[in-house]
Amino acid sequence: MIQLHDLYFKPYLSAQEIHSAIENLAYQVNRDLKDKNPIFLGVLNGSYMVLADLTRKFNGDCEIGFIRTSSYKGTQSTGRIQLDINLDIDLANRVVVIVEDIVDTGLTVEALSQELQSYSPAALYVATLFLKPEVYNRELRIDYIGQNIANKFVVGYGMDYNNLGRNLPELYVQTHKMKNIVLFGPPGAGKGTQAERLKDKYGLVHISTGDVFRYNIKNETELGTLAKSFMDKGNLVPDEVTIKMLNAEVDKNPEATGFIFDGFPRTEAQARALDQLLESKNSEVSGMVALEVDDEVLVQRLLDRGKSSGRPDDANESVIRDRIKVYYNQTAPLKNYYQEQNKYYGVDGVGSVDQITDRLSVEFDKL
């Protein structure tokens, strides 16, 4: 993910995919015009990369010129066209090709085509690297198209957002910065309850490691079967298996604006594995938000929960205290890991559910 001004963008088309679109466009133009000595008119500023690559692949003689138009401000079309035509090439009785980087509604290219007809060309064609067919609503024929794309705001390969991004060799599409939060806390801190509340409030996906394990084991997935084989022997499930399960959950939600990770990571090694997973998806952990609760409060909460949950580990005070102790021993390095990155946010976990949600929301709003 990259940031240009106030907006975020994620990869959309690779340099190789753009190259293929250029090859397709050049093939069509060569097929029809290689013996016509055409004049290629690049529409500035966006078309400069397209024009350079297209004319390098043109197999005949040609001339090149530039014209300037404008209809966009930010990410939206203004609906008004500004033309700046000051040519030093005579278009009369010549084959002229308007070269665009992208055509969406067609407002600009239609106005430009009508204006250029007054210069009496022998033929006038329109070539665009990308076309958005969902929104193109003009009668003007687009003669040559490199590739159709979805109606999304894109930058790169000559296209910009308020003059930034033109130099990128790939195409990026507008997105939102993902809010990926590790919700942390000892047994009885109330992570599950708060995660369910916060996921709805912020439109995030809640990934509970326990739920993920139970789903995979119950449905006998390949990873679930593998995890169960370790558990049946009394061994810990390797981090590699757990991270693959999380990766599968993340991949199920490609349009998510972010995730709440509950129950993972528990160690520094797991934290590094999570960083690598998110980095592979052009994202990162925004922060660890930790519920901080006194041990005696935790013990009482779990004993109270054990009266209705039926869980034997919630009914024995000695077992509860051991669980809390193990938790702190295992997770102390993890707290340091996020503190060193200025990504640790401690929250008082004592109070009513609403009060704790409000405190957590203060920290979520920062991320």
Q: What is the pLDDT along the chain (367 residues), one digit of tens a residue?
A: 788 998 888 889 999 999 999 999 999 999 999 999 999 999 988 999 999 999 999 999 999 999 887 654 554 555 556 666 777 899 999 999 999 999 999 998 998 999 899 999 999 999 999 999 999 999 999 999 999 999 999 999 999 999 999 999 999 998 877 889 999 988 889 998 999 999 999 889 999 998 999 999 999 999 999 999 988 888 888 999 999 999 999 999 887 889 999 989 988 999 999 999 998 887 899 999 999 999 898 888 888 887 776 677 667 888 888 888 888 888 878 999 999 999 999 999 999 999 999 999 999 998 8
| CATH, domain range 181-366 | 3.40.50.300
Residue 179 annotated in active site: no
Q: Residues 34, 177, 266, 321: which is the catalytic one? A: 266
pLDDT of 82: 65
Q: Residues 94, 132, 191, 301: which is the catalytic one? A: 191
Q: Residues 152, 311, 325, 366: which is the catalytic one? A: 311
Question: What is the reported pTM?
Answer: 0.62
The domain limits of the chain are 2-175, 181-366
Residue 272 annotated in active site: no
pLDDT of 40: 98
Q: Which amino acid is at 97?
A: V
Residue 10 annotated in active site: no
Task: Tell me, yes or no, if the two domains 2-175 and 181-366 fold the same way.
Answer: yes
Residue 321 annotated in active site: no
List pLDDT tens digits, range 289-304.
Answer: 999 999 898 888 888 8
Q: Residues 34, 305, 321, 343: which is the catalytic one? A: 305
Q: Residues 132, 179, 301, 323: which is the catalytic one? A: 323
Residue 305 annotated in active site: yes
| CATH, domain range 2-175 | 3.40.50.2020
